[in-house]
Amino acid sequence: MSTVIRLGTRRSALAQAQSGHVAAALEEISGRPVQLVPIVSEGDTNRASLSEIGGQGVFATRLREALLRGECDLLVHSLKDLPTAQPTGLVIAATPKRVDARDVVITRDGTGLAELPAGSRVGTGAPRRIAQVRRRNPEVEVVDIRGNVDSRLERVASGDLDAVILAAAGLSRLGADSPLRREDLELADWPTAPGQGALAVETTESAPDDLRGWLAELDDEATRIAVTAERAVLSGLDAGCQAPMAAHAVQTDAGLHLQAAVFSPDGGRRLDIDVTEILDEGYIRRNGSGNGADAADGADPMHAARVFGMSAAHRLLEQGAADLLPRE
C-alpha cells in the first residue's frame, strides 16, 4: 500500500459525503492522506425501479470488483444496501457509530403523512416504504421514484410531488438545508431497513495489518452488534435488501432490543416481532420469553447477535412471512 490510502466510493453526493466523513477520521488515525476514488455502480446508471433491477448488490458489486482488482484500498457502503452474503476475499473491517436510523416525510407545509388528502402524490422507490405508506394512508398515490436527495426535494418544492420519504441519516450527512417541512417517523411505529443509518467499511482479507488496525479504531461495537442482529433477520428470511421488511435493534439496559416486521406489498398485512435478549458471557438469554437459552460460541457477542436475529426470522416465517416476500 502506498503512502496515500485510496477509498473507493460511489459518485453520488451522499456517498461522497459519507465517505468523506470516514476519510477524515482515517486520516486522523493513520496520519496518512486519504484519496476518494469515485466508482460508478449499476445502481447509479440503471434508472429502472429498484424493485425491477433487484436489491442484491446493485450498488455494491462494481465497487467490490474494483477493490479486488486493487483499484482502491477500502470501500465505504451504506450498510442497508449490502447483501448479507460476504464475498470471498473481502471483510467488513469497521462499522462506525450509527446515526439517526429513522425515515422522514418531507412536505411543503408540514402536513403529516397520515393527514395528506386523498390523491396526494408521495414519492419513494423502496418496496418497504411503499408498503408502509400504503398502510399509513391508503388514500394517497405512491409514485416510484429514483434520484439523489436534491432531486427528490426539488420534486416536492416544485409541486410535482406532495411528499417524499427519505432517510434521516442521508439528510444529516449531506447537511441538506431546505425550506420544506419534515415529519420524523418514529421507529416504534415505522421501523426501517436493516442497517439503515450505519456505514460499512470494507477491505480485503489480505489488507496490510496497519490498515486493518486503523480501520478497527473506527469500529463501534454497539452498532456492529445491532446491525448484525438486523441483517441476520434479513438473511434468515432469505430476502433481498429491497424486500418489504424492516428490522431495527438497539442496546438498552434490559439487553438487545429487536423489532422486525414484514409487509405485504399493498400494506394490507404486517407481521411483527418485538423481543429483547440479554447477551451475557457468550450466551443469549431471552428476556421474559420462557424459551430457555441458546449457547453462543465462546463469548462472541456477534455470534450471539446473529443467533438472535436468525431466531427472530424463524418466528416471522412461522407467522407466514414467506408468503409476503419475493425470493431473490
CB 130 within 8 A of CB 136: no
Q: What is the dihedral of CA 136, 273, 223, 3, to 10 degrees?
A: -80
State the pLDDT at residue 308: 96
pLDDT (mean) for 301-314: 95
Choose which CATH entry (3.90.180.10, 3.30.160.40, 3.40.50.10480, 3.40.50.450) describes domain 226-322.
3.30.160.40
The residue extents of the domains of the chain are 5-96+198-219, 103-185, 226-322
DSSP 8-class letter at 286 = E
State the pLDDT at residue 294: 45
Tell me the C-alpha distance between 75 and 58, whole Å.
Answer: 15
Q: Is the pLDDT reported for residue 58 higher than 80?
A: no
State the pLDDT at residue 278: 84
Q: What is the mean pLDDT of the chain?
A: 88
Residue with cell 409514485: 143
State the pLDDT at residue 291: 40
Q: Is the pLDDT reported for residue 178 higher than 80?
A: no
Q: Is the pLDDT reported for residue 128 higher than 60?
A: yes
The structure's pTM equals 0.88
Catalytic-residue membership of 81 = yes
Burial pattern 63-94, b for ≥16 Cβ within 10 A else e, equals bbebbeeeebbbbbbbbbbbbbeeeeebbbbb
State the pLDDT at residue 40: 83
Q: Is the pLDDT reported for residue 51 higher than 70?
A: no
Q: Quick: pLDDT tens for 256-306.
A: 999 999 999 999 999 999 999 987 644 455 543 434 344 444 468 899 999
Share of the chain above pLDDT 90, in %: 73
CATH class of segment(s) 5-96+198-219: alpha beta
The reply to whether domains 5-96+198-219 and 226-322 share a CATH topology is no
State the pLDDT at residue 296: 42
Q: Which one of the listed residues 44, 73, 81, 100 is annotated catalytic?
A: 81
Tell me the C-alpha distance between 74 and 1, whole Å.
Answer: 11
Name the strand (E) or helix (H) holding 315: helix 301-318
Q: Is the pLDDT reported for residue 65 higher than 60?
A: yes
State the pLDDT at residue 150: 87
pLDDT (mean) for 91-100: 97
C-alpha cell at position 101: 436510523
State the pLDDT at residue 292: 38
Q: Is the pLDDT reported for residue 157 higher than 60?
A: yes
CA angle at 222 for the pair 220 and 223, rounded to the nearest 5°: 65
State the pLDDT at residue 280: 62
Q: Is the pLDDT reported for residue 53 higher than 50?
A: no
Q: Is the pLDDT reported for residue 109 higher than 80?
A: yes
Tell me the C-alpha distance between 249 and 260, whole Å.
Answer: 9
Q: Quick: pLDDT tens for 2-40.
A: 689 999 999 888 899 999 999 999 999 999 999 999 998
Tell me the C-alpha distance between 164 and 246, whole Å.
Answer: 19
Tell me the C-alpha distance between 250 and 252, whole Å.
Answer: 6
Q: What's the fold here for domain 103-185?
A: D-Maltodextrin-Binding Protein; domain 2 (3.40.190)
Tell me the C-alpha distance between 216 and 109, whole Å.
Answer: 44
